[in-house]
């Protein structure tokens, strides 16, 4: 009985490991900050706002990646789809502005165009994987190149700058002290959580990731489901790209390049298995915060920057080890 | 009579001159190739313009071919294709200082003169008779150490020569960025009231550069300035300053000058930027190539200059002409 309780506790901890990591990190930096500066790390609105800002765009990319990874896939193209959307949104907003549209409709139309364009490579990814039998790793690697090239072509190899007050507000403004960017990403998190946990689409995603043959036998249209999942990842990458442009008033083809591996790391730290079938949005949120806190915190306490890589790497390894232990002790999931 | 003689002599000299030029015109069908570090980059696009101007001036043909991204595996096939076209000289921005040595040796063995622009092979010191990477004839590039020094002086002036500053850079080991940082640190050390904090590396992610700025500001409320050793670093740091509500108060100096920099300077995002002169690199690269092809000596190292751009001088055509253009 007592062993059972201990086991239950361990199981809960491994399931919530991203939040456990986050709590441990926050305690670490809290103590550290008190020791060297004599002030709090957490009870400091400035730090909280900076962290939320830092985590927002990578988290957006990771939300789409969460669906993909739960379905036992991987999307290597999200980084450059984000870059493509960043360039397209900059060009489109500037274009609609030049046509004489006021700032607000120009931004709305521009972002819509960017998102529609971003969904296209997602749909193609889905078709390649579901109907043509291309492994996700290879199919999306191909799209990684296509989206990258397309983004550079559209941009003419340059950074496309755009000046629009509403766009700038989306990327940098505040609503009652909370960054607009963070509010948008929070809404995206709520919608994603709802989709994954409350809808048939979410259930089917888990089912397909768990056992595709069984899902097929159960009558799930896994082909269409796969296309929807990758289209969703494309859409999130599109929003991320548009928000990047909003934030820096310029779209760059390589905007998402450094974020691709980060997005996968976030999902893995968040507790999803790369073999599919498990993962949650709340885990992904924690994963994004873990990476942001490590990178921000180490600069804050003035540690040699190269420790960031080591720290993030260790957290990824620990996270996967925790998952291994979990599935060994209690069987898969 | 004497006048007439003079006129005749002049005519003679003149025709002699023409004859001389036409002997030099053995090098009439001079073919010079320019291989940029990557094609999709305003810096190299501007360099190509300078190279074309020089090629036109000496009547040479310029071939421009490159790979879409910075990658040795992509640059070498382009180089091999260019060697097959047998140009008289190749101007190249090598993607790696070691891995391009052997491929360029093949070009050298085929009798093609090599000149490196912007980046170099070996240690960048050529024609010394030492080592296996001394065969290029010349290295034409910005004096990045000097660029860093200019940034240090300009930033120091804008913060009243006192306070804390740090360098924001991509990652360690990029030679040009390391040299800019070195120049910046050397020069800023001459200001006793300026303290330089640890360098922050952002992996080409402006979001990270912004967060690093906020974290440094969080622990160093009296931060006075940042030197972004490239544009991404500068723009990212500037965004961090905006988020933290210290835009314009903490001065950000950038490096490089694509057309979009004009807005950043005018709206105060960046206090200043150090513009390289890529057209100058292309121009003098071609001139050096033409010199060695026609049997004339050329300097083994040509350093090109910089222009400090600020909100106040960017409308001056003598300054704005150094913006990188498509």
CB atoms within 10 A of CB B225: 24
Do B49 and B127 have their domain in common? yes
pLDDT of B6: 52
The more confident residue out of B4 and B170 is B170
Inspect the interface and report whether the beta carbons of B219 and A302 lie closer than 8 Å: yes
pLDDT at site A12:
77
Residues B267, B31: Cα–Cα separation, whole Å:
45
Report the gap between the CA of A234 and the closest CA in chain B (Å).
20
Q: What is the pLDDT of residues B114-144, one digit of tens each?
A: 999 998 998 889 999 888 899 999 999 999 9
Residue B4 lies in a domain: no
Q: Does B265 touch chain A (CB under 8 A)?
A: no
B82 is a domain residue: yes
Domain CATH code at residue B40: 3.40.50.2300
Give yes or no: residues B247 and B285 share one domain.
no
Please check whether residues B261 and B154 belong to one and the same domain.
yes
Any domain includes B24: no
Which of the pair, B210 or B38, is modelled with greater confidence? B210
Q: Is the same domain home to B183 and B235? A: yes
Task: List Cβ neighbours of A168 (8 Å cut-off, separation of 6 or more).
Answer: A246, A249
* Least confident window among A218-227, A305-314, B46-55: A305-314
Flag whether B172 is in a domain: yes
Residue among B200, B204, B239 minimizing CB distance to A305: B200
Residue of B nearest to A57 (CA): B207
ipTM for the assembly? 0.82
Q: Is A219 left (phi over 0), alpha (psi -120 to 50) or beta?
A: left
Residues B37 and B107 in one domain: yes
Looking at the structure, do residues B204 and B295 belong to the same domain, yes or no? no
Same-domain status, B167 and B187: yes
Q: What is the pLDDT of residue B132?
A: 85
State how many domains chain B has.
2
Which positions in chain A touch B164 (Cβ < 8 Å)?
none
Q: CA of B324 to nearest chain A CA: how many angstroms apart? A: 10
Indicate if B285 and B240 belong to the same structural domain.
no
Q: Could you tell me if residue B55 is inside a domain?
A: yes
- Is residue B11 scored above 60 in pLDDT? no
The reply to whether B180 and B192 lie within a common domain is yes
Using the beta-carbon criterion (under 8 Å), do B207 and A57 form an inter-chain contact? yes
The lowest-confidence range among A31-35, A172-176, B22-26 is B22-26
Cα(B159)–Cα(B171) distance, rounded to whole angstroms?
A: 26
| Model confidence at B5: pLDDT above 70 | no
Q: How far is A204 from chain B (nearest CA, A)?
A: 35
The answer to whether the pTM exceeds 0.90 is no
Query: Does pLDDT of A113 surpass 50?
Result: yes
Q: Do the Cβ atoms of B215 and A297 come within 8 Å?
A: yes
Is position B161 within any domain?
yes
Shared domain check, B272 and B176: yes
Please report whether residue B309 resides in a domain: no
Residue A308 has pLDDT above 50, yes or no: yes
Structural domain that includes position B157:
144-276
Enumerate the domain spans of chain A: 56-257
Instruction: Check pLDDT > 70 for residue B260.
Output: yes
Domain-located, residue B122: yes
Instruction: Kindly determine whether residue B200 and residue A299, on different chains, have CB atoms separated by under 8 Å.
Output: yes
Q: Residue B28 has what pLDDT? A: 67
- The predicted structure's pLDDT at residue B89: 97
Residues B129 and B248 in one domain: no
Tell me if B204 and A248 make a contact (CB, 8 A cut-off): no
């Amino acid at each position: 009985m007592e062993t059972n309780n201990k086991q239950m506790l361990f199981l809960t901890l491994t399931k919530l490991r991203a939040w456990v990591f986050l709590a441990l990190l926050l305690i670490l930096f809290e103590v550290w900050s008190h020791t060297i500066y004599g002030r709090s790390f957490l009870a400091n609105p400035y730090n909280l706002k900076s962290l939320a800002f830092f985590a927002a765009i990578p988290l957006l990319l990771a939300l789409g990646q969460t669906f993909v990874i739960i379905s036992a896939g991987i999307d290597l193209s999200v980084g450059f789809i984000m870059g493509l959307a960043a360039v397209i949104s900059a060009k489109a907003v500037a274009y609609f502005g030049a046509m004489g549209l006021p700032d607000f409709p120009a931004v709305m139309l521009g972002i819509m165009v960017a998102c529609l364009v971003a969904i296209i490579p997602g749909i193609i990814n889905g078709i390649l994987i579901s109907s043509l039998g291309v492994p996700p790793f290879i199919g999306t690697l191909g799209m990684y190149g296509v989206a990258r090239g397309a983004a550079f072509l559209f941009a003419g190899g340059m950074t496309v700058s755009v000046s629009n007050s509403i766009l700038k507000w989306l990327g940098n403004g505040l609503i009652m002290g909370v960054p607009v960017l963070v509010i948008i990403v929070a809404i995206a998190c709520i919608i994603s959580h709802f989709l994954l946990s409350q809808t048939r689409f979410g259930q089917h995603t888990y089912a397909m990731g768990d056992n595709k043959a069984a899902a097929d036998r159960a009558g799930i249209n896994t082909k269409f489901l796969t296309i929807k999942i990758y289209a969703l990842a494309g859409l999130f990458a599109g929003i991320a790209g548009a928000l990047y442009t909003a934030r820096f008033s310029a779209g760059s083809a390589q905007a998402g390049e450094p974020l691709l591996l980060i997005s996968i790391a976030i999902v893995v730290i968040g507790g999803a298995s790369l073999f599919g079938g498990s993962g949650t949005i709340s885990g992904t949120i924690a994963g994004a915060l873990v990476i942001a806190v490590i990178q921000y915190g180490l600069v804050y306490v003035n540690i040699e920057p190269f420790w960031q890589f080591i720290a993030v790497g260790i957290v990824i390894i620990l996270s996967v080890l925790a998952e291994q232990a979990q599935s060994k002790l209690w069987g898969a999931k | 009579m004497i006048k007439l003689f003079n006129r005749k002599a002049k005519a003679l000299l003149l025709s002699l001159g023409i004859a001389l030029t036409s002997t030099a015109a053995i090098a009439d069908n001079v073919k010079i190739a320019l291989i940029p570090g990557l094609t999709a980059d305003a810096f190299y696009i501007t360099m190509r313009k300078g190279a074309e101007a020089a090629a036109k001036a000496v009547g040479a043909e310029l071939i421009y071919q490159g790979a879409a991204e910075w990658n040795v595996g992509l640059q070498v096939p382009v180089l091999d294709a260019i060697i097959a076209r047998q140009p008289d000289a190749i101007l190249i921005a090598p993607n790696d200082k070691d891995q391009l040595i052997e491929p360029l040796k093949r070009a050298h063995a085929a009798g093609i003169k090599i000149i490196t622009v912007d980046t170099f092979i070996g240690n960048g010191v050529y024609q010394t008779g030492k080592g296996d990477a001394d065969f290029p004839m010349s290295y034409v590039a910005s004096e990045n150490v000097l660029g860093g020094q200019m940034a240090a002086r300009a930033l120091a002036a804008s913060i009243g020569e006192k306070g804390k500053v740090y360098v924001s850079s991509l990652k360690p080991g990029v030679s040009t960025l390391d040299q800019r940082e070195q120049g910046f640190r050397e020069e800023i050390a001459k200001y006793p009231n300026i303290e330089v904090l640890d360098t922050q590396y952002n992996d080409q992610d402006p979001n990270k550069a912004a967060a690093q700025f906020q974290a440094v500001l969080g622990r160093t409320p009296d931060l006075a300035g940042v030197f972004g050793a490239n544009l991404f670093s500068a723009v990212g740091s500037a965004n961090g300053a905006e988020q933290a509500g210290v835009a314009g108060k903490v001065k950000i100096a950038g490096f490089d000058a694509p057309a979009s920099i004009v807005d950043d300077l005018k709206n105060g995002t960046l206090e200043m930027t150090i513009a390289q002169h890529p057209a100058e690199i292309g121009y003098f690269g071609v001139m050096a190539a033409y010199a060695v092809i026609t049997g004339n000596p050329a300097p083994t190292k040509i350093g090109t200059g910089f222009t400090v751009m600020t909100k106040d001088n960017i409308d001056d055509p003598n300054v704005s002409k150094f913006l990188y253009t498509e």
